Amino acid sequence: MASHTEPLNLTAPDLQDDDLASVRWRPSPGAFRNIVATVLVGIAIAALVWTFDRPGTASSQSVTVTASASGAAPEIGKPAPDFTLDMIDGTTMRLSDFKGRPVWINFWASWCPPCRKENPDIQDLYNEHKDADGLVLLAPAIGEGRDSIAGYMQRADLHYPVGVDSNTQVAANYRVLGIPTHIFVDRDGIIREMRVGAMSKKTMEKKLAQIIGSAQP
């Protein structure tokens, strides 16, 4: 006896067209979670890009300054507050002794990851400009002892001038809250740029051009 096969009906008889569309396009709970996760990752990436691209706040480390500030706060377009810095080689440097030369002040610490990351670029640019353009680099290490700083410089194969601000007084006078903090002083002793946060080598070069190109009095 011949068998008769009924055609398969894939459409539920009690569903209308609108109902079928709703069933067909409704995402599963797993798919919905994946969509939400993708959106959140995108937002996080955008936030990171925005944060690290912001001028003056890129990649910095908070620092505790224990000394009390004295004197006027540093200000762009005004003379840089004078200070004396004991260097790790036993010498002493005074900012005002370098009038007529461009000065790059870099507040940092050996335990600060953003500082350590940019140190090799600082070394390269100091080597490039110290003789050709008379660049002076003063790098006060905040809250550390001489031996600790000297040990780090030796291990990192760094040889630019580093000072000891173990009592944080110089940092306090410059109102340093995050490191690295960079102060660029022109040949007239005027602050031309202040920046909190690590910089790319290209950005460092642009900032140095502002003070190296300054005309001598």
Residues 118-146: tens digit of each pLDDT: 999 999 999 999 999 999 999 999 999 99
Residue with tokens 């569309």: 21
CATH fold of 61-212 reads Glutaredoxin (3.40.30)
Residue with tokens 């507050």: 81
Sequence spans of domains, the chain = 17-53, 61-212
What's residue 14's pLDDT? 47
Shortest CA distance to 163 belongs to which of 101, 208, 104?
104
Tell me the pLDDT band of 55, cut-offs 50, 70 and 90.
very low
- Angle at which helices 113-129 and 201-212 cross, to 10°: 50
Whole-angstrom CA distances from 23 to 18, 79, 178 are 9, 72, 56
Shortest CA distance to 86 belongs to which of 144, 173, 151, 172?
144
Residue-wise pLDDT for 9-29, tens only, equals: 444 444 444 444 444 445 566
Predicted TM-score of the model (pTM): 0.72
One-letter identity of residue 110: S
Which residues in 170-194 are b (16+ Cβ under 10 Å) and which e? bbbbbebebbbbbbbbbbbbbbbbb
